[in-house]
Structure 1
Amino acid sequence: MTTTLSPSATLPAPRPTRRRKPLRSRAYSWFRAAALVLIVLVFILPLAWMLLSSFKTNVDIYDVAKTLVFTPTFDNFANVLGRDNYFQFIFNSAWIAFASTALSLLVGVPAAYVMSRFSMGKSAAVVLLARIIPGVSLLVPWYFIFANLRMVGDYSVLILSHMFVALPLIVYIMMSFFDSLPEDLEESAQVDGLTPIGAFLRITLPLSTPGIATAGILSIIFSWNNFMFALVLSGANTKTLPVAIFNFVSYASIDWGGLMAAAVVVTVPIMVIALFTQKYIVSGLTAGATKG
């Protein structure tokens, strides 16, 4: 006896078959994962060693058996924060970083706007040249000039020297950002009665806030970490944190525990700033990456 299916009856849906990735695709995935892990380890391991060493004595740092298992001590941080007025060095680094960044933004943002809108390629090339020149080649003439002006050791000479690097960086970031903003907005604002300066202040400048934040954050990071300019041009009362770390290096020995604790004090604030502002840095850089 044979049975016939009614038209309304439906056959069970076939089970989907899993398609295995080709061998080449799987090998590439494994290679990419291994490369990412290797890159992360290259960046993380020195920071981890620095952090662990800051809680060790010098004897424990040299003992390989106590690389991970050791008795932590806070004497290094007490020594760092309690010697040689270390909080003054923190203030110096913060003041120089924020002052040089603020002045560079005040000069660099209008300069970048003018270069972008009026296609000043030669001026942009000069700014790029200032960015390419190694800072160490300028230390001797700077020291000679500022020594004759009796400015060596003041905050002003450090702020000016940091601006020499921060200003070209800000100009080039903001130029690419202004290139991505349509000029129609400014033209419409001028039709409505605004002057070119008014259109810049009321229309273009608010729209360029992500780019300004990006340039400012990168400038602060550079200034905070700068060592070379402060080593030559700072005085006893204007030392910054990177220069103050040298106090733990002597001719006969190195206080590795204190040196690592001081390095943590220098590194942690800037890492926190970068962590909480990374979305602004990424959005500012990507906003200026495309035009139109």
Structure 2
Amino acid sequence: MSRAYKIFRAVALAVVVISLLLPLLWMVSASFKTNVDIYDSGKALVFSPTFDNYTKVLQQANYLQFIGNSLWVAFAATALSLLLGVPAAYSMSRFTMRRSALVVLMARVIPGVSLLVPWYYVFSNLRLVGGFTVLILSHMFVSLPLIVYIMMGFFDGLPTELEESAQVDGLTPIGAFRRITLPLSAPGIATAGILSFIFSWNNFMFALVLSGADTKTLPVAIFDFVGYASIDWGGLMAASTVVTLPIMLIALFVQKYVVSGLTAGATKG
């Protein structure tokens, strides 16, 4: 039974890995093909690679500007969400503000598409549509509830005795938070920040409606390769690879920190 279980586990793991990696491998390989080769099933594995698609993406399609836009929006939304979300999560955790936490959860559960029309109406009247401000604020709608809920679980796991001891030694509650609680919660903050950055980088719906020609982010800019009568599959796959590669590298190098931060907030106490 033990041997049969090991074989079953290996087969199941192989199936899952192949099913997840196969689309990515096809995307990367197609980015080095011409459109003719992509449609030719005989050149699925053996083909003459070309870098024309990446040249088109990085030089002719202003993708360096779009990369900068995505970095700026994701970084600003994450930084502002951390600045607001960490103190909010601490207050909700220490003062058992469960109703406020429920409101934050509702904001996380509400589909973003249901808010796009009123957002567009409000921001268009404020003449903000097409700028970076509206993109950062809309991305914070996803990032802020995520950060609050991750950090609430982390703060719940930190013992209050540490802060009480610091206050006995003369620190104010805010001083105890800055000097004791905040450094101890660094793994949770890193986890929340990384996940927030990834969600903001991948966000497509808000940027599609609220961005302008000069503020496009990468997920929206990909659609420049989708025309009314035809699709530039080579350029589309190269652009998709450009979007995916940074997030894959980030996930590869920080996965242990994300896992340790999540498990620390879930198991302490």
TM-score by length of 2: 0.99
Across the aligned residues of Structure 1 and Structure 2, the Cα RMSD in angstroms comes to: 0.7
The aligned runs of 1:272-287 (5 Å cut-off) are 272-287=249-264
Q: What is residue 8 of structure 1 aligned with on the other side?
A: none
Which amino acid is the alignment partner of residue 247 of structure 1? D
Q: Deviations over 1:40-68 (max 9, x none)?
A: 01110010000000000001111111111
| 4+ runs deviating over 2 angstroms | none
State whether structure 2 residue 113 is matched by structure 1 residue 140: no
The offset of 1:273, in angstroms, is 1.0
State whether structure 2 residue 152 is matched by structure 1 residue 175: yes
Q: What is residue 36 of structure 2 aligned with on the other side?
A: 59
The offset of 1:270, in angstroms, is 1.0
Structure 1 gaps of 5+ residues are 1-23
Q: Deviations over 1:55-107 (max 9, x none)?
A: 00001111111111000000000011112321110000000000000000000
Distance 2:24 2:62 in 1: 26
Q: What is residue 89 of structure 2 aligned with on the other side?
A: 112
Distance 2:37 2:249 in 1: 28
- For 1:250, which of 202, 212, 227 is the aligned residue? 227
Share of identical aligned residues, percent? Answer: 77
Q: What is residue 12 of structure 1 aligned with on the other side?
A: none
Q: What is residue 21 of structure 1 aligned with on the other side?
A: none
The offset of 1:203, in angstroms, is 0.2
Q: Deviations over 1:183-232 (max 9, x none)?
A: 11000000000000000000000000000000000000001111100000
- For 1:223, which of 200, 215, 227 is the aligned residue? 200
Q: What is residue 140 of structure 2 aligned with on the other side?
A: 163
The aligned runs of 1:1-292 (5 Å cut-off) are 24-292=1-269
Which amino acid is the alignment partner of residue 149 of structure 1? L
The offset of 1:25, in angstroms, is 2.1
Greater radius of gyration (CA)? 1
The number of aligned residues is 269
Which amino acid is the alignment partner of residue 179 of structure 2? R
Which amino acid is the alignment partner of residue 140 of structure 2? M
Structure 2 gaps of 5+ residues are none
